[in-house]
Amino acid sequence: MRVAELYKKKRPVISMEFFPFRDDKTAESFNKTIDTLAPLNPDYMSVTFGAGGSTRDGSAQTIDTIMKEKMLPCVAYIAGYGLSPDEICKVLDQYQARGVETIFILRGDKPKETGFVPHPKSFAHASDLISFIQDHYDFNLGCAGYPEGHVEAQSLERDIEYLKLKVDNGAQYVVAQYFYDNAYFFNYERQCRKAGIDVPIIPGIMPVYTLKMTRALSKICGTKIPDVLAQKMDTIDGEDKAAVLDLGINFALDQCRELLEKGISGLHFYTMNRSHSTQKIIRQLKLEYLL
């Protein structure tokens, strides 16, 4: 399944992101999540790749579960930080042997464990890794975009210049970091088009799952929590899980409605390996928009 071609043929494309399961217990939970979401007929699912290759085996096993056991289309992530070109090739060869046709490329973060030493020939930037893969393989390639600017970027304009380089080097579609204010995405898309980036740019949707997680990830990812959402979060008890989930579902639904009405190419859901919110959101959107 070549994702860039999918975006040319269908709109909106519905996709979901998962991280690898770690053991038998999390594998069982993961299976339940996939079985709950599969009836929604997502166009594809994607599996992340841990910093420094820390989850390479788990990522491969999770991809096998999605593709071979569940018979669903899958995109494999790869993060180049710290890995040698030979290690990258070993991972990509495994993906190719599994029938993966689309790779989503990130620079990746430095592993948290102490003592990790990156390979001296590791790829410093996602654009370098994209160029390497483009020269050696026939995968469809995707990359990340940051509507509010990457946390390490000097400015949004400079960050868009880096995105242009990734596209020039071979990225064929972009999935955006999640955001809670659609104005950031619309502004980002306009600036990207002005910069000559003409590939699909897909908004990322992250419902509020818990108040603590939302606030913590906001700081890590540089995603601003707008006043309208912050006020809603402040009015509910964080221990009331049902109320928190309802808030997240309703807020994400409003985001998705506006995005769909603007004609976006797709919606990419960051599931955090959970099913309840994503299922509720997509079911409602299917009723309203006949997706």
216 contacts 249 by C-beta, under 8 angstroms = no
Instruction: Judge if the upstream peptide bond of residue 203 is cis by omega within 30 degrees of 0.
Output: no
In terms of Cβ atoms closer than 10 Å to its own Cβ (0-12, 13-18, 19+), residue 97 is exposed
Looking at residue 1, the DSSP 8-state letter turns out to be: -
For the annotated catalytic residues, the residue numbers are 17
Q: Phi and psi (nearest 5°) for 143?
A: -150, 170
**Which residues is 202 bridged to in the sheet?**
175
C-alpha closest to that of 167 among 137, 189, 195, 199: 199
Distance separating alpha carbons of residues 103 and 189, to the nearest angstrom: 22
